[in-house]
Structure 1
Amino acid sequence: MASAAFEDIADTFDFLDDWEDRYRHVIELGKAMPALDEAFKVPATKVEGCASQVWLLPRIEGTGPGARFSFDGDSDAMIVRGLVAILHALYSGLTVSEVLATDAHAELARLGLDEHLSQQRSNGLRAMVERIRAIAAEAAAE
């Protein structure tokens, strides 16, 4: 149940022949993402478990399972910033119940990220997904 924005990324990854091109594309996605205001780069928005510094600022519109989910995010590493952009494409605009129903591992596997990221980056990506799911679960319970 991926968003149209994520499907566009998946289509681009299918088109790119080798991982180096895909890696560059991830970095370009990160560069295109708006920077998070420094005022929001605080411990409350920081994602623990990432080798790089990562911040996710959730934006929930509405209440309960039908509330719309989005977030702003940033990282001090360009490749991780690109991963934040990919997660943004995957989740933003979904309801919090759709966020919880999304199999992030399966969707990200379509991009081949699980095969080409270092163990530290994979752990960081998993930590970002866990944070997003926790935020969605909390919002769904309200």
Structure 2
Amino acid sequence: MILVSACLCGQRCRYDGKTKENKALMSRLGQQAILPVCPEELGGLPTPRPACRLVGGDGADVLAGRARLVDETGADRTAAFLKGAHRTLELARSHGVRRCFLKAKSPSCGSKQLALQGVLPEGYRPVLGVTAALLLANGFPVEEIP
């Protein structure tokens, strides 16, 4: 079983209500069994929803209680991101996931390029999203997909 960010599979679950369908990835995966997940929806956030940013660190810091996620209205959404990450981990374990393909630049799924609060787009730096950090910490291979 392959875990894939649901937006990459064509589901309209991104914060802006859009999809980031990646036909090349879907073609590459062919007939393999795919488990589409959206950690933010699994955490109880609606679609569409205000965009969120990490504050005080990356996803590993959120897991350790040293950072949080705040949406563009100023509301703290840390609990929803943690719930979604842990539900994603439960699904990965229960479905025997072997690999994970996660959406780049996401505060949940990003594993390379993610903007931190107060950093402009040209200031992107390597950082982990909450779900990517949790999956990696539990031994699941994660590949970031643009």
Pair in the same fold by TM > 0.5: no
- If asked which structure has higher relative contact order (CA below 8 Å, sep 6+), I would say 1
TM-score (norm 2): 0.31
Greater percentage in helix: 1
- Of Structure 1 and Structure 2, the greater strand share is in 2
